Amino acid sequence: MTSSVDTTDNAAADFSRLPLNPAILANLALLGYTRMTPIQAASLPVALLGKDLIAQAKTGSGKTAAFALALLANLNARRFAVQAMVLCPTRELADQVTTEIRRLARAEENIKVVTLCGGVALRGQTASLEHGAHIVVGTPGRIMDHLARGHLNLEALNTLVLDEADRMLDMGFFDDIATVARQCPPERQTLLFSATYPEGIAKLSQQFMKAPQTISVQAQHEKSKIRQRWYEVKESERLHAVSLVLNHYRPVSTLAFCNTKVQCRDLVAVLRAQGFSALALYGELEQRERDQVLVQFANRSCSVLVATDVAARGLDITQLEMVINVDVTPDPEVHIHRIGRTGRADEEGWAISLASMNEMGSVGKIEQLQKAESDWHKLTELTPASKEPLTPPMRTLQIVGGRKEKIRAGDVLGALTGEAGFTREQVGKINVNEFSTYVAVDSRIANEALHKLSTGRVKGKSVKVRLLDEEA
Residues at the site binding ligand ADP, with contacts judged by CB under 6 A: 32-33, 36-37, 40, 57, 59-65, 314, 316
**Residue closer to Mg ion, measured from CB, 63 or 142:** 63
Measured CA to CA, the distance from residue 468 to residue 472 in angstroms comes to 9
Beta bridge partners of 401: none
Least separation in angstroms between CB 50 and ligand ADP: 21
**Residue closer to ligand ADP, measured from CB, 46 or 390:** 46
> For 121, which DSSP code?
-
Residues 39, 61 contacting (CB under 8 angstroms): yes
Measured in whole angstroms, the distance separating CA 431 from the mean position of its chain's CA atoms is 15
Which of the stretches 60-68, 201-209, 216-224, 425-433 binds Mg ion when contact is defined by CB under 5 A? 60-68
Least separation in angstroms between CB 252 and ligand ADP: 19
**Residue closer to ligand ADP, measured from CB, 61 or 115:** 61
Question: How many other C-beta atoms lie within 10 A of the C-beta of residue 305?
Answer: 26
**Residue closer to Mg ion, measured from CB, 39 or 267:** 39
Least separation in angstroms between CB 300 and Mg ion: 22
Question: How many other C-beta atoms lie within 10 A of the C-beta of residue 434?
Answer: 13
Q: Where are the alpha helices (DSSP H) in 10-156?
A: 22-30, 38-47, 63-73, 91-105, 122-130, 140-148
- Which does residue 138 touch among Mg ion, ligand ADP, none (CB within 5 to 8 A, set by kind)? none
- Which does residue 118 touch among Mg ion, ligand ADP, none (CB within 5 to 8 A, set by kind)? none
- Which does residue 37 touch among ligand ADP, Mg ion, none (CB within 5 to 8 A, set by kind)? ligand ADP
Least separation in angstroms between CB 176 and ligand ADP: 21
Dihedral of the alpha carbons of 385, 388, 392, 393, in degrees to the nearest 10: -100
- Which does residue 94 touch among Mg ion, ligand ADP, none (CB within 5 to 8 A, set by kind)? none
Identify residue 195 by its one-letter amino acid code.
A
Least separation in angstroms between CB 317 and Mg ion: 12
Residues 112, 92 contacting (CB under 8 angstroms): no
Least separation in angstroms between CB 18 and ligand ADP: 11
Nearest to 444 by CA among 459, 428, 458: 428
**Residue closer to ligand ADP, measured from CB, 89 or 401:** 89
Contact flag: residue 63 with Mg ion (CB under 5 A): yes
95-130: b (≥16 Cβ within 10 Å) or e: bbbbebbebbbebeeebbbbbbbeeeeeeebeebbe
Helical packing angle, 174-182 and 200-208, nearest 10°: 10
Least separation in angstroms between CB 312 and Mg ion: 12
Question: How many other C-beta atoms lie within 10 A of the C-beta of residue 361?
Answer: 9
Residues 83, 159 contacting (CB under 8 angstroms): yes
Least separation in angstroms between CB 329 and Mg ion: 20
- Which does residue 60 touch among ligand ADP, Mg ion, none (CB within 5 to 8 A, set by kind)? ligand ADP
Least separation in angstroms between CB 133 and ligand ADP: 21
142 φ/ψ angles, rounded to the nearest 5 degrees? -70, -35
**Residue closer to ligand ADP, measured from CB, 31 or 122:** 31
- Which does residue 5 touch among ligand ADP, Mg ion, none (CB within 5 to 8 A, set by kind)? none
- Which does residue 162 touch among ligand ADP, Mg ion, none (CB within 5 to 8 A, set by kind)? none
Measured CA to CA, the distance from residue 423 to residue 416 in angstroms comes to 8
Measured CA to CA, the distance from residue 462 to residue 146 in angstroms comes to 38
**Residue closer to Mg ion, measured from CB, 38 or 251:** 38
- Which does residue 36 touch among Mg ion, ligand ADP, none (CB within 5 to 8 A, set by kind)? ligand ADP
Measured CA to CA, the distance from residue 437 to residue 409 in angstroms comes to 8
N-terminal to C-terminal alpha carbon distance within the chain: 52
- Which does residue 62 touch among Mg ion, ligand ADP, none (CB within 5 to 8 A, set by kind)? ligand ADP
Least separation in angstroms between CB 320 and Mg ion: 16
Least separation in angstroms between CB 314 and Mg ion: 5
**Residue closer to ligand ADP, measured from CB, 345 or 357:** 345
**Residue closer to ligand ADP, measured from CB, 164 or 327:** 164
Q: Quick one: CA dihedral 361, 366, 371, 377, positive or negative?
A: negative
- Which does residue 173 touch among ligand ADP, Mg ion, none (CB within 5 to 8 A, set by kind)? none
Number of residues that bind Mg ion (CB under 5 A): 1
**Residue closer to Mg ion, measured from CB, 63 or 338:** 63
Identify residue 201 by its one-letter amino acid code.
I
**Residue closer to ligand ADP, measured from CB, 95 or 448:** 95
Question: How many other C-beta atoms lie within 10 A of the C-beta of residue 149?
Answer: 10
Beta bridge partners of 255: 305, 323
Beta bridge partners of 431: 438
- Which does residue 299 touch among Mg ion, ligand ADP, none (CB within 5 to 8 A, set by kind)? none
What residues make contact with Mg ion under the rule CB under 5 A? 63
